[in-house]
Amino acid sequence: MLIMNESTDIFVDIMSEQTAATAATGKIEFEEAFALHHRTVFRAARSVVQDAAVAEDVVQETYLRLYKNLDSITTEEMLRPWLIRVAINVAKNTVRGNIRANTRDDNYVKESGTTHAPSVETEYEESAGVSEIHRALSRVKEPLRSCLILKQQGLSYKEIATSLDLNESSIGTFVARARQEFARFYGKPGKETI
C-alpha cells in the first residue's frame, strides 16, 4: 500500500506542476481583452469626451497601450480596471488638448471676425435634450462625476475604486452625492462650465 501512496503523491505533484505551468503561460490574450472590454472602454471614454468619434480614438489609444503593456497585466481581475483607468486618463488628456485647440480657434475667429453656422448634429442634440444632460453632468465635480458615470455603466464599487484610484468605502457616498448634484443641476438654466 505504501507504493500506491507514493505513486499517487507523485501523480498529484505532476498534475500540480502542469496546472501551475498552464496558469503561468495562460496570459491574457489581446484579442480576448478587446472583445470582452471594448464596449466598457468606449463608454468610459465617451463619458469624458462626450463625442463618439473622439471616444473611438481614445479606445484605439487605450488598446495600443494595452498591447505595449500586456505583459505587465498579470490577472484578468486587473485588466478591466486598468483599461478603464487608461481610457479615462487618455480621454482627459484629449479633452485638455481639444480645449487648448478650441481656445486657439476661438481666438482666431475673434481676430478674423468670421463665425461658423451651427452644425445639424448640434441642433439635433439640443432639440433632443442631450446637451442638457451633458451640461448638468459637466457641473458635477470630479471624482463624483466619474463615479456616477461608471456606476451607471454597471461597474461594481470595487472596479470603480480601482479604476479611479479611490478608496472603495468612499464610492457609495460619491455616487449618492453625484446623483444629488446631477438632480440639482438638471433642468435648471445656468452657465455651462468646462
Tell me the pLDDT tens digit for each residue of 20-56. Answer: 443 444 567 888 889 999 999 999 999 888 889 999 9
Q: In which band, very low, low, confident or very high, does the pLDDT at 15 lie, cut at 50, 70 and 90?
A: very low
Domain 28-114 CATH (choose: 1.10.1740.10, 3.60.15.10, 3.30.450.60, 1.20.1250.20): 1.10.1740.10
- Kindly state the percentage of the chain with pLDDT values over 90: 23
pTM value?
A: 0.49
Every domain of the chain and the residues it spans: 28-114, 129-194
Half-sphere exposure of 194 (CA within 13 A, CB side): 10
Residue type for position 152: Q
Joined together, the cell numbers standing for residue 148 give 456616477
Q: Is the peptide bond before 143 cis (omega within 30 degrees of 0)?
A: yes
* Structure-model confidence comparison of residues 89 and 24, the more confident one: 89
Domain 129-194 CATH (choose: 1.20.120.1200, 3.40.50.11260, 1.10.10.10, 3.40.50.2300): 1.10.10.10
Closest to 91 measured CA to CA, from 71, 69, 129, 65: 65
Are 66 and 83 a contacting pair, CB within 8 Å? yes
